[in-house]
Structure 1
Amino acid sequence: MTDTTTTIRRILGLDALTCLLAGAVMSLGASLLAGPTGLHPTLLLVAGCSLFPVAALFAWMAKTSLLNAPLVLLAVVGNIAWVAASIAVVVLTEPTAFGTAFVLAQALVVAVLAWLEFKVGPGNRAIAAA
């Protein structure tokens, strides 16, 4: 395994972990977070639950011998979609200042992960050959 392949696998593993943790916080704490964030508990629950299959996919990608550029690009596009949806939540709902910070902070983390995955992944021949 090349250094680049190891790096993208580590980034995907980190992405899986952040999805799992954010999913647990939002889904299990939906009713507790609703007040301080100003976000509807159902939105928090659904958003949190949607992260569990993504975490599983990213964890699988971090370990599979089938890792290739299109799979990494799928992760990048999915992360960009999450960032766009997060911005839409802030614009279309009425979160508190804490809620805005909560949503935008996690969107920033996801954006950084997407950038890292893109930088290391799809354009790299080592990933395509992995």
Structure 2
Amino acid sequence: MTHMHITSWALGLILFLVALALYKKNSNKPATIVHMILRLVYLFIIVTGGLLTWDYIQGYGMPLLGEAIVKALAGLWIVVVMEGILVSTKKGKAVTGKWIQFFIALIIVIVLGFFRLPMGFYF
């Protein structure tokens, strides 16, 4: 499940950057298509992340429960902010605050996912 989650995140970030570049070039029709595909990938990200969180709850118990929940919430936060960045870019609104939120949540997710929780690199 971990590999599927990481793959869906990688695909999601690639599609996010492609949609963002297309919106900035004012290619709205191709950008909208990529954006809709990205929304389907969001579902894979959320489902696989939820299953990983469930695995943490079942397998590792209370010592890591708080960190797993924080990582899950930060992951949801990233999905919401990615959607907000794309919609604001499409409408021509300011996105500076959303980018700051994106990078803060991304740091939280990477640190917890790869370096603290047991299914990451060091455990």
Q: TM-score, normalised by structure 1?
A: 0.41
Q: TM-score, normalised by structure 2?
A: 0.43
